[in-house]
Amino acid sequence: MIEVSDIDVVFGRGTPLEKHVLKKINLTMDKGSFVTVIGSNGAGKSTLLGVLAGDVIPSAGKVVIAGNDVTRKTTAERAALVARVFQDPLAGSCGTLTIEENLALAAARGQKRGLAPALGQARRKWFRERVASLNLGLENRMADRMELLSGGQRQALSLVMATLAGSEVLLLDEHTAALDPGMAEFVMELTRTLITENGLTALMVTHSMRQALDYGDRTIMLHAGNIVLDVTGEQRKTLGVEDLIEMFRKVRGQTLDDDALLIS
């Protein structure tokens, strides 16, 4: 479960560049819920994920994850609770390490132990099985360096890695944006499966209105640091891509010039 209460984020406070990026944000998510997050550029979406991950410490407010007040905890201190997959396939793994070594590091995330004990025979078998379940043939390339893989293969592995340490929360920051449509769909289906199988509580930032409605059980829209839309259940089922775009128009008070992108 996630409880975000009255979160304020101000960057550059007291300077000419001061920016109030999140304004008294309140968001409660039950364990196992999957929220899609939309909003225009600069709305504060990545900052919200940063507040949950620990790389943005809020100016005010409280963040509770799985009963732990993590508001002032660093990314490392909350690593056992929160996993994150980024837009850049290179960001979530180490290119010069092998697939197996990357998995071992991911499995050890948030624990005080090194790589060696994580690479016992039982672990190796477990990693291989997890990778084989992707049906990408990567289980035969466990000793290959991560940098040899395609972006889609890396994102698929990053998702598997995000589930290895038993974190309750999964944060997805436009994690399919750099992939071709076929791979993006594959990664999205994998995302859905892993969230369900592992009972994860997930937030996914996306610029695709289609994805925002097709996946998850709730959609929120951020605008200028506020949650301006929060839909779930029957109300969400009746919404179409056009409705979301219309809401964008309303909150921005102007016509979008990148509708085509948003519909993708």
Ligand X SMILES: Nc1ncnc2c1ncn2[C@@H]1O[C@H](COP(=O)(O)OP(=O)(O)OP(=O)(O)O)[C@@H](O)[C@H]1O
Residue among 146 and 172 whose Cβ is closer to ligand X: 172
Find the binding residues for ligand X in span 232-251 (CB under 6 A): none
CB of 105 to ligand X, least distance (A): 26
Residue among 32 and 42 whose Cβ is closer to ligand X: 42
Burial group, residue 121, by CB count within 10 angstroms (0-12, 13-18, 19+): exposed
Return the percent helix, strand and coil in the chain, to nearest 5: 40, 25, 40
CB of 50 to ligand X, least distance (A): 7
Task: Spell out the residues 6+ positions from residue 179 whose beta carbon is closer than 8 angstroms to its own.
Answer: 89, 151, 152, 155, 187
* Closest among 72, 133, 67, 141 to 100, alpha carbons compared: 141
What's CA 245's distance to the chain center, in Å?
22
CB of 98 to ligand X, least distance (A): 31
Find the binding residues for ligand X in span 8-67 (CB under 6 A): 11-12, 19, 21, 39, 41-47
Instruction: Give the number of other Cβ atoms within 10 Å of residue 189's Cβ.
Output: 11
103-142 footprint of ligand X as x/- string (CB under 6 A) = ----------------------------------------
Find the binding residues for ligand X in span 200-229 (CB under 6 A): none
3-state secondary structure of 64: strand
CB of 116 to ligand X, least distance (A): 36
**Residues that bind ligand X in the complex, under the rule CB under 6 A:** 11-12, 19, 21, 39, 41-47
